[in-house]
Amino acid sequence: MGNKEINAILATDCGSTTTKAILIEKKNGEYRLVVRGEAPTTVEAPFEDVTKGVLNAIREVEELADKEILAGEKIITPRVGERKGVDLYISTSSAGGGLQMMVAGVVKTMTAESAARAALGAGAIVMETIASNDGRLTYEKIELIRKLRPDMILLSGGIDGGTVKHVVELAEIIGAADPKPRFGTGYNLPVIYAGNKDAQDSIKENLEKKTDLSIVDNLRPLLEMENLEPARREIHDLFMEHVMAHAPGYKKLMNWTKVPIMPTPGAVGLLIKTIAENEKIQVIGVDIGGATTDIFSVFQKIFNRTVSANLGMSYSISNVLVEAGVENIMRWVPFKVDRKYLRNMIKNKMIRPTTIPQTLKGLQLEQAIAREALRLAFVQHKSMAVGLKGIQQERTISDAFSQSATGASLVDMMHLDLVVGSGGALSHAPRRNQAAFMVIDGFLPEGVTRLAVDSIFMMPQLGVLSTVNEKAATEVFDKDCLIRLGTCIAPVGNGKEGRPCVTVSLEDKKIEVNYRDMVLIPLSVGEKKEVIITPTKSFDVGAGKGKQLKTLVDGGIVGLIIDARGRPFELPEDNSKRIELLTRWNNALAIYPEKM
């Protein structure tokens, strides 16, 4: 279908709790969001049919847009006139827990790590990683596979032409476990083999009769090279063919759309990747949800995704407390708080996940937890977003046998151009200034970085739309989805509090900022200003220590933020001093209202 024929697009995202529907139409030569509807997801009892929730969300769209889209339980397509039907229907899904995978590889920090990156990039949650050298006994691995019941398994190991022994042993373990799929027993569990091509016959012998085996190109054909795309494509295909086909109601939903249903995180990642490619920029995207926090990045044209399955703001909020510790959460709170009160508040949120803060203090506590969830998820992302992403690099023999991570992290904050935040904590923060501050504290950007949030979390639908109509996806993302918060200028270095850190010259203004201070300069959405940033000799804004940088900065709803708190960033241990600084920064950025 050519772009000229697509004038009305209906897109849905079936989440674990809510199904969202959006209607996009072409008006005056450009694609724009018309309305958005939502309804509870109906994949579980008593309905056990995902299409019921989809139809309810579409009916809300019909009502809001005053258009006829449904004929009974069927979407009218193609469009008939201006007020009846749509030209294209597409969908994404993470209902029923999304795509849950187990990966296996010979060496934990090499092929198993590559397999995890392939699965994560395809939008999966990696439940467990098994490796020949992970220290578990054979019976323990078999028990683990039987217990977890993943949607599919990705098996990798060995470079092409190398030894086959270890990867065949892993296949034997999977065969002995005789794993059963999560959605019933009427079909065999999909297993993707992406390892040494010389082992393919032995892999078939062990797994072909017990599983639905697919064989794709090796993830690591050479020690110095990764080839993740064939495995990722196969994961998407099998997700549709097996997982979605056996989930309640999905067979019917699949018949409604000619475009394959994508896992929600895979679609978001695809959109982040598309934006990075189109604008030729380095991007980080984050989706902080109730159960998980997904981080996407594109650095040096290389895409990475990680999912922190135990870090979220409702169902997994207690895990944030465990991972971060009480002290790390409390350090962001600008008032004295009792530890017991904080723990109880977190536990109450976990057992009542749909509640929202009713007081200013409650909001401040929840946003302190969000900062730690973002920080911890980003630490995990940096450890996974490492070298050897499809490019050859010279390595010594000592590197080849090293048990450390695959390579240096690709994440380079000084050259980061844009951070896009989404998820309830960021998209629905009462003030956009709060969302900007949480992103800055969670990621600690360096130099000059643009900040934005997803207005109503439509990135999944736009991600799958980008596969069939990139123009529509990017136009709606730019004009209706992306809320530009502004730009953050953050010098790298440390000094003495109260001493000069950086001077920002903006037209006829010259703003001098001392170390440990933050300043907010009004700069509206759509405004671009040339600035001259002059750091003192101990600080760097991207041109080198003490060197001046001349650049364009973008405005936004929040404006231009100068963060002179230093990098690396540390808060004082003294409680009164810490509270004084947090209060000063909150006031400088107009984070919270004066009266509540």
The predicted-structure confidence for 447-482, as pLDDT tens digits, reads as follows 999 999 998 888 889 999 999 999 999 999 989 999
For residue 98, pLDDT over 90 is answered with no
Secondary structure (3-state) at 266 = helix
Residue 461 one-letter amino acid: Q
For the chain, the average pLDDT equals 89
The pLDDT score that the predictor gives to residue 406 is 46
Q: Is the pLDDT of residue 2 over 50?
A: no
90 and 104 together in one domain: no
On whether residue 274 sits in a domain, the answer given is: no
Tell me the CA distances in angstroms from 353 to 40, 290, 323, 435, 569, one per residue in order: 15, 8, 19, 20, 32
Report whether 293 contacts 279 (CB < 8 A): no
Quick one: which of 430, 456, 354, 254 has its CA closest to 16? 354
* Interatomic CA distance for residues 515 and 538, integer angstroms: 11
Which conformational region is residue 37 in: left (phi greater than 0), alpha (psi within -120 to 50 degrees), or beta?
beta
The confidence score (pLDDT) of residue 489 equals 98
Amino acid 291: pLDDT:
79
Rounded CA gap, 493 and 117, in Å? Answer: 33
Q: Between residues 209 and 45, which one has the greater pLDDT?
A: 209
**Contacts of 354 by beta carbon, 8 Å cutoff, 6+ apart:** 314
Domain assignment present for residue 213? The answer is yes
167 and 45 within one domain? no
State whether 361 and 468 are in the same domain.
Answer: yes
Spatial strand order in the sheet of 30-40: 30-40, 18-27, 8-14, 88-93, 262-263
| Cis peptide, bond prior to residue 248, ω within 30 of zero | no
Residues 6+ apart with CB under 8 A from 344: none
Task: Check the CA dihedral 279-415-489-336 and report its sign.
Answer: positive
Read off φ and ψ for residue 215, nearest 5 degrees: -120, 125
Please give the helix or strand (H or E) that residue 294 lies within, else none. Answer: strand 293-299
pLDDT band at 46 (very low <50, low <70, confident <90, very high): confident
Q: What is the pLDDT of residue 183?
A: 67
* Domain assignment of residue 29, yes or no: yes
Q: State how far the Cα of 507 lies from the Cα of 521, in Å rounded to an integer.
A: 12
| Per-residue pLDDT reduced to its tens digit, 421-431 | 998 899 889 99
Task: Indicate if the pLDDT at residue 399 is higher than 50.
Answer: no
pTM: 0.83
Is 154 in contact with 119 (CB distance < 8 Å)? yes
d(CA 24, CA 4): 14
Judge if 174 and 308 occupy the same domain.
no
The residue among 95, 129, 164 that closes a domain is 95
pLDDT computed for residue 390 by the predictor: 38
Q: How far apart are CA 240 and CA 237, in angstroms?
A: 5
Which parts of 28-174 are beta strand (E)? 30-40, 70-71, 74-75, 88-93, 99-105, 124-131, 152-155
Predicted pLDDT at 594? 62
Where does residue 496 rank: exposed (0-12), middle (13-18), buried (19+ CB within 10 A)?
exposed
* Structure tokens, 420: 């896009």
| 233 and 293 both lie in a single domain | no
246 occurs within a structural domain: yes
| Domain CATH code at residue 117 | 3.40.50.2300
What's the rounded Cα separation, in Å, for the pair 427 and 562? 22
Indicate the residue among 217, 252, 287 that finishes a domain: 252
pLDDT at 97: 63
Given this model, what pLDDT does residue 394 score? Answer: 40
Is residue 83 domain-shared with residue 102, that is, in the same domain? no
**pLDDT computed for residue 215 by the predictor:** 96
Q: Tell whether 37 and 134 lie within a shared domain.
A: no
**Greater model confidence, 238 or 295:** 295
pLDDT value at residue 185? 62
Reported as a pLDDT band with limits 50, 70 and 90, residue 223 is: confident
**In this structure, are 216 and 307 located in the same domain?**
no
The Cα–Cα gap between 25 and 11 comes to 11
d(CA 216, CA 194): 5
Residue 401: its pLDDT value, please? 34
Residue located via tokens 């019941």: 149
Same domain, 81 and 116: no
Residue the block writes with tokens 């990098």 = 567
Q: What is the pLDDT of residues 333-379, one digit of tens each?
A: 999 999 999 999 999 998 888 788 999 999 999 999 999 999 999 99
270 belongs to a structural domain: no
Within this chain, do residues 125 and 90 fall inside the same structural domain, yes or no?
A: no
What percentage of the chain carries pLDDT values higher than 70? 94
pLDDT recorded at residue 400: 34
- Mean local confidence (pLDDT), 309-327: 89
247 found inside a domain: yes
81 within some domain = yes
Residue type, 136: R
Residues 133 and 33 reside in one and the same domain: no
Question: 28 vs 3, 7, 25, 31, 32, CA distance in Å?
Answer: 14, 11, 10, 8, 10
Instruction: Write out the residue range of the structural domain in which residue 150 sits.
Output: 98-252
> Is 402 part of any domain?
no
- Give the residue, 306 or 32, on which the prediction is more confident: 32
Render pLDDT for 8-22 as a digit per residue (tens, 0 to 9).
999 999 887 788 999
Last residue of a domain, one of 95, 126, 152: 95
Per-residue buried b or exposed e for 559-585, using 16+ beta carbons within 10 Å of the residue's own CB: bbbbbbbbbeeeeeeeeeebeebbeeb
pLDDT digits (tens, 9 = 90+) for 131-150: 998 999 999 999 999 999 89
Tell me the mean pLDDT in the region 212-239. Answer: 89
Determine the 3-state secondary structure of 450 from DSSP: strand
pLDDT value at 407 more than 70:
no
Which CATH number belongs to the domain containing residue 11 in this structure?
Answer: 3.30.420.40
Asked whether residue 54 carries a pLDDT value surpassing 60, the answer given is yes
Continuous segment of H or E residues that includes residue 452: strand 447-454
pLDDT for res 184: 61
Q: Cα(544)–Cα(538) distance, rounded to whole angstroms?
A: 10
Say yes or no: 108 and 164 in one domain: yes
The residue type of 312 is G
State the burial class of residue 265 (Cβ atoms within 10 Å of its Cβ: 0-12, 13-18, 19+). Answer: buried
pLDDT at 385: 83
HSE of 99 in the Cβ direction (CA atoms, 13 Å)? 33
Greater confidence, 440 or 127? 440
Number of domains in the chain: 3
Structure tokens at 271: 């959109």
